[in-house]
Amino acid sequence: GYDCPATEGIFEYAAAVGGATITAAQCLLDGKCKVAINWPGGWHHAKKDEASGFCYLNDAVLGILRLRQKFDRVLYIDLDLHHGDGVEDAFSFTSKVMTVSLHKFSPGFFPGKLNLGDLCTGDVTDVGLGKGRYYSVNVPIQDGIQDEKYYQICETVLKEVYAAFNPDAVVLQLGADTVAGDPMCSFNMTPEGVGKCLKYVLQWQLATLILGGGGYNLANTARCWTYLTAVILGRTLSSEIPDHEFFTEYGPDYVLEITPSCRPDRNEPQRIQEILNSIKGELSKPT
């Protein structure tokens, strides 16, 4: 596809990303750690027969398959701006992997395709197929959402998911394209807001595989993943960006924090409640 060109060295690069996620998953299987991280991973759009959305393979799927060698029920949580369609498709027919995706939902917004009639993917009514029916959870969100409302949605959904599915392990995709200042110009989050969602998952104390994903403001993506790494380690970081080779990329303020923009929040409380009620009803159906 146009977004996945066959450039020189891409096989080696994709193999390194996929191999790193499999290695991280193996560390969890071997009990070497409770949390394993591969920030370059999180390539959640690729299908078994198609590269898509800058994703040449789906390392998240490979990581889940490796975790399934030991853990019976694996929960995949996708907090990227874009719908985690590739992971959902891979496990849409199984009850052993539950996928949860919070994402922007808008006609033609990737992975939706205006010219193919598939305007949107990841609607709240997309719940899985066959034996996997009700094991796919989609949370469609509109532009402008900020930390507090996003966390309320995330916590509400994950509380229901945990009670219904009782996972043995977690794969958490943390794309940074939800953060204010990203060229996607959609959500209005900060690393602290994403960090609250991460902390909620970590308090389950399950084997957890952390992956990156989108993030097209490179300085803000580095800020976000650095902050989230500190959350995982229980560390508090200085606000000041340390002097290094790419220091000038962090101007004009040169601090770790990211300030939300004045973008309006398009998420109506009534619609959000309707979505949450629908998800709660669907999660009561798996057996």
Q: Which two tokens stand for residue 221?
A: 């993506």
What separation, in Å, do the N-terminal and C-terminal C-alpha atoms of the chain show?
A: 39
80 annotated binding-site participant: yes
Q: Binding site annotation covers 216?
A: yes
Take residue 228 and report the two structure tokens written for it.
């989230």
Is 244 tagged catalytic? no
Q: Measuring CA to CA, how many Å separate 124 from each of 109, 148, 240, 274, 284?
A: 16, 21, 41, 10, 15
> Of all helices (H) and strands (E), which one includes residue 191?
helix 191-202
Q: Which residues pair with 139 in a beta bridge?
A: 102
Paired residues of 179 in beta bridges: 189
Q: Is 243 marked as a binding-site residue?
A: no
Q: Round to whole Å and give the CA distance between 122 and 83.
A: 6
**Do residues 142 and 104 lie in contact, with contact meaning Cβ atoms separated by under 8 Å?**
yes
- Report the candidate in 173, 77, 95 with the shortest Cα–Cα distance to residue 133: 95
Nearest alpha carbon to residue 101 among 135, 63, 145, 54? 135
Is 200 annotated as contributing to ligand binding? no
Q: Which of 44, 45, 83, 103 is catalytic?
A: 45
53 is in an annotated binding site: yes
Cα distances from 269 to residues 74, 145, 258, 263, in angstroms, run 31, 11, 25, 17
Q: How many Cβ atoms sit within 10 Å of the Cβ of residue 123? A: 15
Distance in angstroms (rounded) separating the CA atoms of residues 24 and 285: 33
Does residue 89 have a known ligand-binding role? Answer: no
Tell me the chain's radius of gyration from C-alpha atoms: 18
Instruction: List active site positions.
Output: 45
Binding positions for a divalent metal cation = 80, 82, 177
Binding positions for substrate = 3, 53, 216
Binding positions = 3, 53, 80, 82, 177, 216
